[in-house]
Amino acid sequence: MPRKYQLSIRTIFIRKIILVWFCLSATCAWTRVLLRWTLPSVPPAATTGIGDLVVSWEASDLIRKAHDQGYRVYAEIQIHNAANMPRNKIRNELAGLILNPGDSQQSQIDNALRELRSAYKELPLLVLDTKAKQPQMKGQLVIKKDGVLQVSSPTAQPWIDSNLALMRFDQALRPAQTPLYEFKWQSGASEQPQDPDIQDYLLAIAEAGAFHADLILDLSQKFQSDLLQHNQAAWDALNQLKRYLDFFRRIAAKNLKAEANIGVIADTHQNSYEPVNLLARHNIQFAILEPSDLSPQTFQKFGILVFFAMPDERNAKAIADFASKGGTVVLADSHGSYPWHSAPSAPTSDHAVSYSVGKGRIIELSEPVIDPETFAQDVRRLMEKDKVLISLWNALTTIAVPYRVSDGPEKIVELVNYAEDPLQVQVQIKGFFSSIRYETPERDCCESLTSVQRDGFTEFVIPSLRIAGRVYLAGKSNTVSPAGR
């Protein structure tokens, strides 16, 4: 085994131990949206109906005020301040600490976590992922430096910015903590920075909720100020926002597991992030696995494995075993020497060779994935038709995430429409379900949808998906109900 690889596994193992230790008390079973407040005053929690606020560590007066107003206050600490934190300052006012690591290396983050843990032993400690993007349907018109509106590099592909891939990486690489992320609002094509509108806030909440991640949501200063000045439009917007928060809180008590039939093996974002991002965008259901976690048992639930990490000897054996039983394996940027190289092979493209191994095959791509869009479509084509978990039509701006309920036959599908405009979406999902019920934050649970069963799949049409929607699927004798109903 190459020394570099051994070091990598050891480092990952140590990091995992550290993270489990530091973040154990911070784990949370459901999505939380923490609102970031920056103005010096804050309305009482009893009137906003919001529980959690994030306030800068440096704004100690605001932390006290927010606490006095009834909020659970999380103090956000920039990593460069972590080492100099005064011990036990305003401890009683805090519900937790959030470390903003900026662009720091993992070793620096580990050190900062140690410092914080030693200063604030009992407080939950969360690490923020700052690499997320504003979820949105993206256009192509941009303002250049000279102020002229311009279209850049036209292509035919509509585009959405989604954080699903990032969340899946976080879930795999920081398993002890529910992913917690933030993003900065973008100004789009406009020359002037624009405040987000309510739809943008709702989409952000919908995305975090659907992906079962935690989000720090920046409220614009104008929104905060309007709330303080009792502006009715702002309070109406806040009520809409709360409706979305409640919508995702409803599902909190359920033990849901994201479904996946493709295993993506990666140890870093490098070289793999964009291909994984495109898998997510094409509604291909995948799970990210670390190379150190692999075994033949790990692979059992998958039909396809995609390796972005170089397999070691142990993993090479597991790969060969998986393929021999009928699985398909794709190795990106593959240059090693492997046992299956003695098997019958044939070039399948200019840069790919396919090896027949038992009932399955192993495809080696000799270069990194240079066209992630094409690669994602290739992976979808590799899937046998009867193994596709979910397909959507008329839904290029929609991401659907199917979850299995407590390992039982029932499923829940969370849907997010980045176009923020009502869509009629056709869905085909693997399995037979006679009870299909649909709910949205805007309408109370639940509308029964008619379905058709065909070739091992259930098909139905979602009448109107604006931003967030949820489908409960169950067999004849079962129904899946929102918690607490």
Instruction: Give the residue, chosen from 9, 20, 39, 137, that forms a contact with another protein under the rule CB under 8 A.
Output: 137
CA atoms within 13 A on the CB side of 270: 5
Q: Which is nearer to another protein, 68 or 384 (CB)?
A: 384
What minimum distance in Å lies between the beta carbon of 188 and another protein?
A: 6
Q: Which one among 153, 229, 270, 337 touches another protein, defined by CB under 8 A?
A: 153
For the segment 54-93, give every residue that binds another protein (CB under 8 A): none
Our CB check for another protein shows the closer of 4 and 381 to be 381
Q: Is 335 in the site for another protein (CB under 8 A)?
A: no
Minimum CB–partner distance for residue 226 and another protein (Å)? 19
Q: What angle do CA 246, 172, 102 make, to 5 degrees?
A: 80
**What is the dihedral sign for C-alpha 101, 104, 110, 112?**
negative
| Interaction of residue 150 with another protein, rule CB under 8 A | yes
Classify each residue of 328-341 as buried b or exposed e, where b means 16 or more C-beta atoms within 10 Å of its C-beta.
Answer: bbbbbbbeeebebe
Which range of residues in 134-142, 202-210, 319-327, 428-436 is near another protein by CB under 8 A? Answer: 134-142
**262 lies in the site for another protein, by CB under 8 A:** no
| Residue ranges in 398-457 that form contacts with another protein under rule CB under 8 A | 419, 421, 423
Binding-site member from 191, 236, 246, 313 for another protein (CB under 8 A): 191
Task: Report the residue number, 47 or 190, with the smaller CB distance to another protein.
Answer: 190
> Which position among 15, 138, 269, 404 is part of the footprint of another protein (CB under 8 A)?
138
- Among residues 69, 78, 140, 271, which is the contact residue for another protein, using CB under 8 A? 140
Nearer to another protein, 213 or 467 (CB): 467
Compute how many other C-beta atoms are within 10 angstroms of the C-beta atom of residue 393. Answer: 13
Among 84, 105, 152, 270, binds another protein (CB under 8 A): 152
Determine the size of the site formed for another protein (CB under 8 A): 49
CA distances from 28 to 108, 126, 383, 481 (A): 25, 11, 34, 21
Residues 170-189 that bind another protein (CB under 8 A): 188-189
Which listed range, 69-77, 133-141, 265-273, 309-317, lies at the site for another protein (CB under 8 A)?
Answer: 133-141
Least distance (Å) between residue 145 CB and another protein: 12
Q: How far apart are CA 233 and CA 481, in angstroms?
A: 33
| Contact stretch for another protein (CB under 8 A) within 118-126, 131-139, 399-407, 434-442 | 131-139
| Both structure tokens of 155 | 């292509």
**CB closer to another protein out of 373 and 442:** 373
Rounded to a whole number of angstroms, the minimum distance from the CB of residue 467 to another protein is 12
Over the window 337 to 366, marking each residue x when it contacts another protein by CB under 8 A and - when it does not, the resulting string is ----------xxxxxx----------x-x-
Question: What would the x/- binding string for another protein be over residues 373 to 402, using CB under 8 A?
Answer: xxx-xx--xx--x-------xx-xx-----
Question: What are the CA-CA distances from residue 285 to residues 162, 268, 357 (Å)?
Answer: 14, 19, 25
**Which residue of 7, 14, 149, 233 would you call a contact of another protein, by CB under 8 A?**
149
Q: 374-381, long-range: CB within 8 Å, 24+ apart, which pairs?
A: 375/275, 375/278, 376/275, 376/278, 376/279, 376/281, 376/282, 376/284, 377/282, 379/262, 379/279, 379/284, 379/304, 379/306, 379/330, 380/282, 380/284
| Shortest CB 412 distance to another protein, Å | 25
Binding site for another protein (CB under 8 A): 137-141, 144, 148-159, 188-191, 330, 347-352, 363, 365, 369-371, 373-375, 377-378, 381-382, 385, 393-394, 396-397, 419, 421, 423
